[in-house]
C-alpha cells in the first residue's frame, strides 16, 4: 500500500501508474481537499482523500512526496520521526530533506513533463532513483521497475543536471513554440502551420543525436539583415528574447564576429 502526498501533475501521473504496478493507493493528501478527492476518484480502488498530514497512516510500503520543491521541507518538518520508506519526486531537492522523517528514504524522479488530462506512456518514462541505504535503494528500484523500462540510479548531482537540461529541452522549447504561436496569431495563422517544421527539427536532432551539428537559421549564418528585420517585426518582449538567443548562437558559431552585433 502506498500513500501519495500531493495531487498535482506528477502525483496525478504516478498514482495510477503505481496502482497498475500492483501497489494499492490507500491515501492521497493535498492541502486542497478537492484536488485530493479528484485524484482519488480516478483510481480503480478509490483512495482516501485527506487534507491533514496528521491523518496519514503508519506502516504502509511507500510514502511518495510529490509536491512543489519549496513545499517538501515544511512537510518533512511536520512528519518528523514518522518512519517508513519515503521518497520525493523532485529533480532538484536533495534526498536527505526527508532524513528527519525516517532513516529509509530516497528519490523517485520521473524525467518527463506531465499535464493533467494528458496521458503519458509510463513504461517509456525514464525514472531516476536514489536511496539512503541499500535496502531503500533496492525497494525503490523494484517499484520503479514495475512502472518503467527505463530505470537508473542517479545521485543528486546527476539528477540536478538532468533536471536543468530538461528545463531547456522541454519547458524552454515549449515557450519558444508559444512565442511562435503568438507571432502567427497576429495575422490569422497559428502554430499548426509549423507542425511539419517542428517534427522535422526533432527528427533531425534525434537522428544525429547532435543538435549543435544541425543548427540552422539566420543566427547560425550570422545573417544580420534577416535578424534586424525580425527584431523590428516583433513586440518588444519577443524582440528582446530574439536578440538574446540569436547572440548566444552567434557567440557559439561566429565567436570572432560577435562585436559587430
- Residue ranges in 130-189 that form contacts with its own copies under rule CB under 8 A: 150, 157-158, 160-181, 183-184, 186-187, 189
Which CB, 82 or 198, lies closer to its own copies?
A: 198
Q: Does 45 bind its own copies (CB under 8 A)?
A: no
Q: Tell me the closest approach of the beta carbon of residue 208 to its own copies, in angstroms.
A: 8
Q: Does 77 bind its own copies (CB under 8 A)?
A: no
Which CB, 48 or 220, lies closer to its own copies?
A: 220
Alpha carbons 159 and 60: distance in angstroms, whole number:
27
Which CB, 53 or 120, lies closer to its own copies?
A: 120
Alpha carbons 161 and 246: distance in angstroms, whole number:
24
Q: Tell me the closest approach of the beta carbon of residue 171 to its own copies, in angstroms.
A: 3
Q: Does 54 bind its own copies (CB under 8 A)?
A: no
Q: Which stretch binds its own copies (CB under 8 A): 43-51, 80-88, 136-144, 227-235?
A: 227-235
Which CB, 26 or 222, lies closer to its own copies?
A: 222
Q: Does 220 bind its own copies (CB under 8 A)?
A: yes
Which CB, 52 or 206, lies closer to its own copies?
A: 206
Q: Tell me the closest approach of the beta carbon of residue 14 to its own copies, in angstroms.
A: 15
155-162 CB contacts, 8 Å cutoff, 24+ apart: 155/130, 156/94, 156/95, 156/107, 156/130, 158/128, 159/91, 159/92, 159/107, 159/109, 159/128, 159/130, 160/91, 160/92, 162/91, 162/109, 162/111, 162/128
Amino acid at each position: 500500500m502506498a500513500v501519495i502526498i500531493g495531487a498535482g501533475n506528477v502525483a496525478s501521473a504516478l498514482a495510477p501508474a503505481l496502482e497498475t504496478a500492483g501497489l494499492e493507493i490507500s491515501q492521497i493528501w493535498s492541502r486542497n481537499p478537492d484536488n485530493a478527492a479528484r485524484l482519488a476518484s480516478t483510481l480503480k480502488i478509490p483512495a482516501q482523500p485527506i487534507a491533514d498530514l496528521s491523518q496519514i497512516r503508519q506502516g504502509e510500503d511507500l510514502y511518495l512526496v510529490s509536491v512543489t520543491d519549496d513545499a517538501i521541507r515544511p512537510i518533512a518538518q511536520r512528519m518528523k520521526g514518522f518512519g517508513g520508506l519515503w521518497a520525493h519526486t523532485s529533480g532538484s531537492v536533495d534526498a536527505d530533506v526527508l532524513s528527519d522523517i525516517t532513516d529509509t528514504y530516497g528519490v523517485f524522479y520521473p524525467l518527463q513533463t506531465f499535464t493533467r488530462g494528458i496521458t503519458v506512456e509510463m513504461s517509456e518514462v525514464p525514472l531516476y532513483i536514489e536511496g539512503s541505504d541499500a535496502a531503500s535503494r533496492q525497494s525503490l528500484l523494484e517499484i520503479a521497475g514495475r512502472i518503467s523500462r527505463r530505470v537508473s540510479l542517479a545521485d543528486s548531482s546527476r539528477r540536478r543536471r538532468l533536471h536543468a537540461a530538461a528545463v531547456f529541452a522541454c519547458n524552454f522549447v515549449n515557450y519558444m513554440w508559444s512565442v511562435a504561436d503568438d507571432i502567427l496569431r497576429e495575422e490569422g495563422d497559428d502554430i499548426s502551420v509549423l507542425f511539419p517544421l517542428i517534427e522535422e527539427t526533432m527528427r533531425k536532432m534525434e537522428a544525429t543525436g547532435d543538435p549543435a551539428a544541425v543548427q540552422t537559421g539566420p543566427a547560425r549564418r550570422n545573417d544580420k539583415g534577416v535578424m534586424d528585420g525580425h527584431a523590428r517585426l516583433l513586440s518588444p518582449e519577443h524582440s528582446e528574447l530574439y536578440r538574446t538567443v540569436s547572440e548566444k548562437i552567434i557567440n557559439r558559431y561566429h565567436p570572432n564576429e560577435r562585436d559587430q552585433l
